[in-house]
């Protein structure tokens, strides 16, 4: 379907599709099997300027918005969610700097992210603090013109691979949600290190690792925004990034639909291609309906965000939860249509199904997304009385 993209947006889509077909597809199974970080692919994406998409032009980027981001992420995800997670996580780490960084911080960090010279990462989750983000324990104490950080962050995408980390830590335990602050931590900062690299069900090309802060000392000018704004930084970041997770879902589901439809046309049983059986055709039809509906939602929300709309939490959550639930269903159905073939590693759909599951979990579980939407509805209908 035509979404009336600008010439520049079509250029991004076509280039990402070309890279996905020529570079990512041929290596995705091996990266998954070996649980290998896609260093070469990240270099290719950097050479193609793709790390600059959402970075303002004055910092070496292309100045695109949420729509440009979702177009790129969707196309890369169509080939491999592990690769697209690595790519998108760099933007997740960059958003706090774009949204809350001061001029010096933007100049120093965004230029490195835009060129692909450094990957970025975002660190909020801890071992005892997932959905209940307010319960994080990592402490940052100001001493002179430095902050001393102690604690650890869990399941951080691009952990150990990124050079730039946006980290949320507690600066005043007595202030509750207003006691958290966001910091930039650099790879190599004294007292900053990495724990074990996780082994995972899916998105195995992406690196997921623990961050360890052991009397980690950083200069005081690494604060993003002001002290106490940590959760505001996190929430505004998620408002921007969640449609990107929706775009990952649209991409992987489209990839699964492509595989299932192509297979159903050539696979013969009872002397006929299985796509001619209504049971299979209806499954494919439902998959196609769901993918297109999710894409329309993601693009519409991205355009709404790019219009400069203020309160986007509800629709951002919608653009995450609907596509990701859809992707789990569509990738599972793709495995079903391929039958025994689908369950085997020679075909790409079992990987897509394994990969899709994380989309319902990360960047806020789909249960938390529904909480956000519910709270917003409560506010909205409260005002209407």
Contact status: 262 vs other proteins (CB under 8 A): no
Please name every residue paired with 184 in a beta bridge, in sequence order, or none if there are none.
166
Contact status: 203 vs other proteins (CB under 8 A): no
Q: Which is nearer to other proteins, 11 or 128 (CB)?
A: 11
User: Using CB under 8 A, which of 6, 11, 30, 265 touches other proteins?
Assistant: 11
Residues contacting residue 319 through CB under 8 Å, at least 6 positions apart: 242, 243, 246, 297, 298, 301, 302
CB atoms within 10 A of CB 257: 23
52-81 binders of other proteins (CB under 8 A): 52-53, 62
What token pair was written down for 311? 């309160």
User: Using CB under 8 A, which of 15, 29, 148, 281 touches other proteins?
Assistant: 15
The rounded distance, in Å, linking the Cα atoms of 312 and 376 is 10
**Active-site pick, 36, 103, 363, 376:** 363
Q: Which is nearer to other proteins, 48 or 235 (CB)?
A: 48
Q: Which is nearer to other proteins, 23 or 78 (CB)?
A: 23
Contact status: 311 vs other proteins (CB under 8 A): no
User: Using CB under 8 A, which of 35, 36, 49, 187 touches other proteins?
Assistant: 49
What token pair was written down for 380? 């909205």
Give residue 251's Cα distance to chain centre.
12
Q: Per CB under 8 A, which region of 15-23, 162-170, 278-286, 309-317 contacts other proteins?
A: 15-23
Q: Which is nearer to other proteins, 114 or 184 (CB)?
A: 114
Contact status: 255 vs other proteins (CB under 8 A): no
CB 90 within 8 A of CB 83: no
- The CB-of-48 to other proteins minimum distance in angstroms stands at 5
CB atoms within 10 A of CB 100: 20
Q: Per CB under 8 A, which region of 16-24, 78-86, 131-139, 238-246 contacts other proteins?
A: 16-24
Contact status: 250 vs other proteins (CB under 8 A): no
Torsion (CA) 216, 222, 224, 229 in degrees, nearest 10: 50
Contact status: 50 vs other proteins (CB under 8 A): yes
376 is annotated as an active-site residue: no
The rounded distance, in Å, linking the Cα atoms of 318 and 326 is 12
| N residues, the chain | 385
User: Using CB under 8 A, which of 6, 8, 190, 309 touches other proteins?
Assistant: 8
User: Using CB under 8 A, which of 5, 48, 281, 361 touches other proteins?
Assistant: 48
Q: Which is nearer to other proteins, 49 or 172 (CB)?
A: 49
Residues contacting residue 98 through CB under 8 Å, at least 6 positions apart: 54, 55, 56, 106, 110
The rounded distance, in Å, linking the Cα atoms of 343 and 256 is 13
Q: Per CB under 8 A, which region of 10-18, 74-82, 126-134, 249-257 contacts other proteins?
A: 10-18
DSSP notation for 261-309: HHHHHH-EETTEEGGGSHHHHHHHHHHHHHHHHHHHHHHHHHHHHHTT-
27-46 binders of other proteins (CB under 8 A): 44
Binding site for other proteins (CB under 8 A): 7-8, 11-12, 15, 18-19, 22-23, 44, 47-50, 52-53, 62
Tell me which residues are annotated as active site.
363
């Amino acid at each position: 379907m035509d979404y009336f993209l600008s010439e520049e947006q079509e250029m991004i889509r076509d280039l990402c599709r070309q890279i996905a077909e020529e570079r990512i597809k041929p290596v995705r199974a091996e990266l998954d099997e070996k649980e290998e970080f896609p260093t070469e692919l990240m270099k290719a994406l950097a050479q193609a300027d793709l790390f600059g998409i959402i970075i303002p032009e004055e910092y070496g980027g292309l100045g695109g918005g949420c729509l440009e981001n979702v177009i790129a992420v969707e196309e890369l995800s169509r080939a491999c969610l592990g690769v697209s997670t690595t790519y998108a996580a760099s933007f997740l780490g960059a958003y706090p700097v774009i949204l809350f960084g001061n001029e010096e911080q933007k100049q120093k960090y965004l230029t490195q992210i835009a060129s692909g010279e450094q990957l970025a990462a975002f660190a909020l989750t801890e071992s005892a603090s997932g959905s209940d983000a307010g319960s994080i324990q990592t402490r940052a104490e100001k001493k002179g013109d430095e902050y001393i950080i102690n604690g650890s962050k869990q399941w951080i995408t691009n952990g150990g691979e990124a050079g730039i980390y946006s980290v949320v830590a507690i600066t005043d335990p007595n202030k509750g949600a207003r006691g958290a602050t966001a910091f930039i931590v650099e790879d190599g900062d004294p007292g900053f290190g990495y724990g074990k690299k996780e082994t995972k069900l899916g998105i195995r090309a992406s690196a997921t690792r623990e961050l360890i802060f052991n009397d980690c000392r950083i200069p005081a000018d690494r604060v993003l925004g002001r002290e106490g704004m940590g959760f505001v930084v996190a929430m505004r970041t998620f408002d921007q990034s969640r449609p990107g997770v929706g775009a990952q879902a649209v991409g992987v589901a489209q990839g699964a639909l492509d595989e299932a439809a192509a297979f159903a046309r050539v696979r013969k049983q009872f002397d006929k291609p299985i796509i001619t059986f209504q049971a299979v055709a209806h499954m494919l039809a439902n998959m196609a309906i769901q993918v297109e509906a999710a894409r329309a939602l993601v693009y519409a929300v991205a355009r709404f965000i790019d219009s400069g709309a203020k309160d986007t939490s509800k629709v951002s959550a919608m653009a995450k939860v609907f596509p990701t639930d859809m992707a789990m269903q569509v990738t599972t159905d793709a495995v079903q249509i391929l039958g025994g073939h689908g369950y085997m590693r020679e075909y790409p759909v079992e990987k897509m199904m394994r990969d899709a599951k994380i989309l319902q979990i990360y960047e806020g579980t789909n249960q938390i997304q529904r909480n956000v939407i519910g709270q917003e509805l409560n506010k909205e209908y409260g005002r209407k009385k």
